[in-house]
Amino acid sequence: MYGIHIDTSLAMSVTMQLCNQLRRKIESGELAKGTRLPPTRRLAQEFGIARNVVIDAYEQLTAEGYVTGKVGSGTYVAAGISTNPFMDGGDEPDASPSGRRNADGLIDFTAGTPDLGSFPRKVWARYLREAAEYGPDRLYDYGDIRGEYELRTAIASYLFRTRGMRCHPDRIMIVSGSADGLALAARALYPRYRSVYIEDPTIELAQHIFRNARYNLVPVEVDRSGMNLQNIGCMQEGHLLLLTPSHHFPCGSILSIQRRQLAVKMAEQSDTYVLEDDYDGDFRLKGIPVPPLYTLAPERVIYFGTFSKTLAPGLRIGFVVVPKRLAGSFAALREDMNLRSPSVPQIALARFISDGRLDRHIHKMKGIYRHRRNQLVSALQHAFGDGAAVFGDEAGMHVMVEFISVPRDSDWRLSESYGVRIQGLEDYALIKGANGKRIVLGYGHLSEANIKEGVDRIRRFIAEYR
């Protein structure tokens, strides 16, 4: 049906195979706008797969904007998706197989910290010990400036299996985290590029990195479909585009397929690059991870990943996937700066990934974060009812909350006097003044008891502050 083939022998899940092939059919124009997709039961019978697999695939494509569902009518290909019958995915790798509370009693909802208590210390220590004891002598030499080939190969296979990305290990560079990767890119691309379109609001660290690299920051509003690229108009020469399309931080929105295609088109027309920060993309709590922008244009997207959220920030291991024509200049700059990541932890992580340990850990953590997310949403509903709206709760370890009746100029820092630390969305904004009613709540590191107590403290603070 539609020329779709499902191969159950692949490491890639059946859901992802179905999603990927339907995306390609839509993006190539083979499935035109308005085309009705087969009912889930019939498609499941056609391929001999569970109906829930087809339902999950349709829900995933709906979330990404590829299809729309009409109650009682069916599922249809969405309008506004530009098509390209000659799409090329690039190189394909082998597809083989407790809560925290400060000492003073302050409950901290600061976003960005995973549950460090669930990190598999004993297992990780064993992989480290084996790499240190039995690894080859070269691990104690200076090593490849791009990072250990074994880790780059493991990452390439992982990205294909979980994201549908096709990239050769030679295009992957190991860095000390996504921030280190962004700083490397900012320096490597300057001065040919001197400005960057940046999401507003956005993580403060990204703002600092590009300001320190002497870039001009051009803020672009974020709405429920991600960065509003239409506000840019014609992309100017010498401008980069920085996006967190899979799960925007801090608003939690997903960049729609229409805007993803527009971002790639703008980059191609202006001979520039999209910098894609896949912020906590592994922790999609409903459905499978959203395919990266990289899959649309491997030669126009620089992709940044990190293990700081999936495992622990203390590992200091991230990676950058660079277009082929930039790989040499990125490596040369890293050589000039004499920046190398330790080899032994890289080999340990490579084998941790190849043995399936990372997949199991992510699966476990998704269950934990899903439960904590549900507890947080339930506590907010109980405390505020219709007075608070929650956004961005389908993925990650944080949500954005908008309160109906609080003042627009609320100073959320004052909440610490009530024993709870929260961040206002205004703290992340480049253009100030529009986000006073919104806060960001990180829950990944908090216990159920702290979540409930923390929300109650927020309720008391708002009641008395107002």
Q: Is 81 helix (H, G, I), strand (E, B) or coil?
A: coil
Question: Tell me: the pLDDT tens digits for 332-351?
Answer: 999 998 888 999 999 999 99
Domains of the chain: 14-77 (1.10.10.10), 107-114+360-465 (3.90.1150.10), 137-355 (3.40.640.10)
**420-421 and 226-227 beta bridge pairing:** unpaired
> Given this model, what pLDDT does residue 354 score?
97
Residues in the chain: 466
> Given this model, what pLDDT does residue 281 score?
76
**CA-closest candidate to residue 439, choices 449, 417, 454, 453:** 454
Q: How far is CA 69 from the centre of its chain?
A: 25
Residue 50 makes CB contacts below 8 A (sequence gap 6+) with 44
Q: Give the pLDDT band of residue 93 (cuts 50, 70, 90).
A: very low
What predicted TM-score, i.e. pTM, was given to this entire model? 0.82
For residues 35 and 5, which has the higher predicted lDDT (pLDDT)? 35
| DSSP structure class, residue 216 | E
Mean pLDDT of 286-302: 90
**CA-closest candidate to residue 118, choices 349, 311, 282:** 311
Vertex 404: Cα angle to 401 and 407 (nearest 5)? 100
Helical segments of 115-172, H only:
121-134, 149-163
> Given this model, what pLDDT does residue 2 score?
66
Separation CA 441–CA 398 (nearest Å): 5
Q: Is 281 helix (H, G, I), strand (E, B) or coil?
A: coil
Give the Cβ contact number of residue 314 at 10 Å. Answer: 9
Phi, psi of 385 (to 5 degrees): 55, -130
Q: Is 165 helix (H, G, I), strand (E, B) or coil?
A: coil
Separation CA 62–CA 76 (nearest Å): 9
Separation CA 135–CA 127 (nearest Å): 11
Vertex 462: Cα angle to 460 and 463 (nearest 5)? 65
Mean pLDDT of 28-41: 89
Separation CA 265–CA 268 (nearest Å): 5
Question: Tell me: the pLDDT tens digits for 172-215?
Answer: 999 999 999 999 999 999 999 999 999 999 999 999 999 999 99
Average predicted confidence (pLDDT) for the chain:
90
**Start-to-end CA span in the chain (Å):** 59
Give the Cβ contact number of residue 189 at 10 Å. Answer: 23
Longest dimension (CA), the chain: 65
The answer, yes or no, to whether residue 24 has pLDDT greater than 60, is yes
| Tokens (6 digits) for 438 | 């919104």
Separation CA 158–CA 167 (nearest Å): 11
The answer, yes or no, to whether residue 98 has pLDDT greater than 50, is no
Question: Tell me: the pLDDT tens digits for 224-274?
Answer: 999 999 999 888 889 999 999 998 999 989 999 999 999 999 999 999 999
Give the Cβ contact number of residue 322 at 10 Å. Answer: 28
Separation CA 190–CA 194 (nearest Å): 6
In 127-209, at which residue ranges do the beta strands (DSSP E only) sit? Answer: 172-175, 195-200
Residue type, 16: M
Gyration radius of the chain over CA positions: 22
